[in-house]
C-alpha cells in the first residue's frame, strides 16, 4: 500500500549542544599576571618614589645640606573610564525555535530557560574577550591624535614611525591599552613629567616571522635593563601569534634548527620561556612586545567581579522585553617606565 503524504517535512531531531562561538580567554584577569588593582571609582592617585644617593668622603664635622640623598616622589592622578555593555532583547523572537519548549505556559511568558542557560550565558565570556583585547590593543581618539602629532625618530626618546602607524591603525577604544599607555602617558614620574612620550626603553622592531623571531627576542632581551632581568620577575608580553611562530622556529628541521625557546608542558599548562624569561601571550598588536616586571603594568578598576556581573530585568510598563546591562569602570596605567622595554616602540 503506497504512502500518500501531502504537506512539508521537518527535521525530527537536533544537535543537543548549541555550537557556540570560541571566546578569547581573558587570561589577564584569570591569571592576574599583571597588577590588577580594585577599589577605585572614578580616579586614583598613583605615587612613585625614587631615592638617589651619592657617596662622599668622610665628614667628621656637622652634617650640612649636601643634596646627596635625593628623595624623589611623584603623584599622578589617573582617571577611570566608566563604560557598559547594554541592550534590549525581545524573547518573542525565540518562538518557533527549540527554545519555545522551555517557555512557561501563558502567552505573556516568552522567556526561555534553555536560551538563558545556553546562549545568554555567553555574554560574560564575550565581554571578557572584548576586554582582554582592549587592555592590550587600542587607544582613545585623544591619544591617537596626540601620538599622531609626535615627530618620530630612530633614537631613544622618539617614537618609531612604525609604532606611530600601528597606533593609528589600532581600534579606537574608551581607554588606552597597556601598550599605548607605555608609549604615551601623562605620568609625573617621567624624566619629563606630564603628557608626552613614555619613558620606556625602545627597541626598534621589524616584521617578526618564524625565521627571525629568535633574533628579535634577542634584541628585546638585550635591550632590557639588567635590574629587571636580575629581579627574576621579568616577563615578556607578546602577541598571541608569537606562540605559533616560536614553535615553528623551534621545530625547524635540518641546519636551520635552533631551539631558542624553552617550551614546557602542553595545552593550557604550556609555558614558554626565552632565556629564562616567561612569555605571556595576549592580544597585542603584532608590532609590539613588552619585557618588564609585571607589577609595573596595571589595570585599575572598581571591582573585578564587575566583569561577570549582568543585570537582567524586565523592561518597564508592560514591555515583553528584557534589558541586559554590564557596567564597569577601568583604566590602564604603567609605573617605573624606565624599566619597561618596548619592542616596536
Residues lying near another protein in the complex (CB under 8 A) are found at 151-156, 158, 160-162, 164-165, 204, 206
Phi then psi for residue 119, to 5 deg, are: -120, -55
**50-62: burial string, b at 16+ Cβ within 10 Å, e else:** eeeeeeeeeeeee
User: Which of 46/213 has CB closer to another protein?
Assistant: 213
The least distance separating another protein from the CB of residue 165, rounded to whole angstroms, comes to 4
User: Taking Cα atoms as reference points, which of 42, 324, 330, 53 lies closest to residue 173?
Assistant: 330
d(CA 22, CA 17) in angstroms, rounded, equals 14
The least distance separating another protein from the CB of residue 182, rounded to whole angstroms, comes to 18
322 contacts 89 by C-beta, under 8 angstroms? yes
d(CA 47, CA 50) in angstroms, rounded, equals 10
The helix (run of H) or strand (run of E) holding residue 294 is none
The least distance separating another protein from the CB of residue 149, rounded to whole angstroms, comes to 11
DSSP for 42-70, please give it: SEEEEEEEEEEE-------S-----S-EE
The least distance separating another protein from the CB of residue 153, rounded to whole angstroms, comes to 4
Q: How many Cβ atoms sit within 10 Å of the Cβ of residue 323?
A: 15
User: Which of 37/212 has CB closer to another protein?
Assistant: 212
User: Which of 89/161 has CB closer to another protein?
Assistant: 161
State the number of CA atoms in the 13 A half-sphere of 12 facing the CB: 2
The least distance separating another protein from the CB of residue 203, rounded to whole angstroms, comes to 10
The least distance separating another protein from the CB of residue 28, rounded to whole angstroms, comes to 28
Cell triple for residue 320?
Answer: 515583553
For residue 9, the Cα-to-chain-centroid distance in whole angstroms is 50
d(CA 238, CA 227) in angstroms, rounded, equals 21
The least distance separating another protein from the CB of residue 222, rounded to whole angstroms, comes to 12
The least distance separating another protein from the CB of residue 267, rounded to whole angstroms, comes to 36
User: Which of 94/220 has CB closer to another protein?
Assistant: 220
User: Which of 219/338 has CB closer to another protein?
Assistant: 219
User: Which of 160/292 has CB closer to another protein?
Assistant: 160
User: Which of 69/195 has CB closer to another protein?
Assistant: 195
d(CA 147, CA 39) in angstroms, rounded, equals 30
User: Which of 120/167 has CB closer to another protein?
Assistant: 167
Amino acid at each position: 500500500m503506497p504512502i500518500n503524504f501531502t504537506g512539508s517535512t521537518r527535521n525530527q531531531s537536533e544537535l543537543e549542544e548549541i555550537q557556540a562561538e570560541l571566546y578569547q580567554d581573558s587570561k589577564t584577569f584569570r591569571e592576574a599576571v599583571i597588577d590588577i588593582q580594585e577599589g577605585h571609582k572614578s580616579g586614583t592617585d598613583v605615587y612613585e618614589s625614587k631615592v638617589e644617593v651619592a657617596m662622599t668622603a668622610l665628614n667628621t664635622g656637622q652634617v650640612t645640606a649636601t643634596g646627596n640623598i635625593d628623595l624623589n616622589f611623584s603623584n599622578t592622578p589617573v582617571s577611570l573610564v566608566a563604560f557598559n555593555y547594554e541592550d534590549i532583547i525581545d524573547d518573542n523572537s525565540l518562538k518557533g525555535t527549540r527554545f519555545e519548549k522551555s517557555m512557561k505556559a501563558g502567552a505573556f511568558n516568552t522567556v526561555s530557560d534553555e536560551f538563558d542557560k545556553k546562549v545568554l550565558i555567553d555574554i560574560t565570556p564575550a565581554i571578557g574577550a572584548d576586554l582582554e583585547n582592549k587592555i592590550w590593543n587600542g587607544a582613545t581618539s585623544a591619544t591617537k591624535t596626540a601620538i599622531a602629532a609626535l615627530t618620530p625618530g630612530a633614537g631613544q626618546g622618539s617614537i618609531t614611525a612604525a609604532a606611530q602607524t600601528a597606533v593609528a591603525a589600532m581600534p579606537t577604544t574608551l581607554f588606552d591599552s597597556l601598550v599605548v599607555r607605555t608609549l604615551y602617558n601623562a605620568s609625573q614620574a617621567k624624566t619629563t613629567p606630564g603628557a608626552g612620550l613614555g619613558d620606556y626603553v625602545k627597541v626598534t622592531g621589524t616584521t617578526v616571522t618564524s625565521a627571525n623571531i629568535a633574533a628579535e627576542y634577542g634584541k628585546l632581551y638585550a635591550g632590557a635593563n639588567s635590574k629587571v632581568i636580575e629581579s627574576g620577575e621579568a616577563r615578556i608580553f607578546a602577541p598571541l601569534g608569537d606562540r605559533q611562530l616560536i614553535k615553528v622556529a623551534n621545530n625547524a628541521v635540518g641546519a636551520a634548527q635552533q631551539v631558542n625557546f624553552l617550551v614546557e608542558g602542553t595545552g593550557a599548562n604550556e609555558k614558554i620561556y626565552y632565556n629564562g624569561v616567561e612569555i605571556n601571550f595576549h592580544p597585542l598588536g603584532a608590532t609590539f612586545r613588552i619585557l618588564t616586571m609585571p607589577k609595573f603594568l596595571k589595570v585599575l578598576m572598581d571591582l573585578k567581579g564587575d566583569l561577570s556581573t549582568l543585570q537582567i530585568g524586565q523592561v518597564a510598563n508592560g514591555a515583553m522585553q528584557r534589558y541586559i546591562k554590564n557596567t564597569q569602570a577601568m583604566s590602564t596605567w604603567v609605573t617605573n617606565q624606565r624599566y619597561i622595554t618596548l619592542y616596536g616602540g
